[in-house]
Amino acid sequence: MIISLKHPLKLATGETVSTLTLRRGKRKDMAAAAKYSSDAGEQEDFLFARLTGLTIEDIGELDLADARQLADSFRDMVEERHAEIDASAAASDVEHAGRVDGFGAAAAR
């Protein structure tokens, strides 16, 4: 998954990047993060570094908006959410907004 950064990131190597490639994670990545630290924040940084090929220090230099986008992209990938599914769910929510307990608005009167 390619993530376009809102704020380009200058890596420890001196290179500046405007996109990150987030690979799909595996259980062994989670296990390595758990071995790295018992702190959830440190585990997340370790996991994001491992899945993007960046260093933990590089992850720490991400702008907060880009860090949020990385975290959201990771969650979307893990939960296998896609734009089509999200759009379908939103349409369904709108369709059911006028209903009470599954009945049409007329039944609620």
Q: Is 59 exposed, middle or buried (0-12, 13-18, 19+ CB in 10 A)?
A: buried
CA distance 41 to 91: 35
Place of tokens 């994001």: 48
Same domain, 103 and 73: no
User: 91 and 47, same structural domain?
Assistant: no
Helix 27-36 vs helix 40-52: angle between axes, to the nearest 10 degrees? Answer: 130
Is the whole-model pTM more than 0.85? no
Shared-domain flag, residues 7 and 44: yes
pLDDT in tens, 56-94: 999 999 999 999 999 999 999 888 876 555 555 555 555
What is the domain range of residue 94? 83-109
| Whether residue 58 sits in one domain with residue 12 | yes
Closest among 36, 33, 28, 6 to 18, alpha carbons compared: 6
**What is the number of structural domains in the chain?**
2
Residues 60 and 109 in one domain: no
7, 67 contact by CB (below 8 A): no
Q: Give the pLDDT confidence of 14-55 residue by residue, as tens digits.
A: 999 999 999 999 999 999 999 999 999 999 999 999 999 999
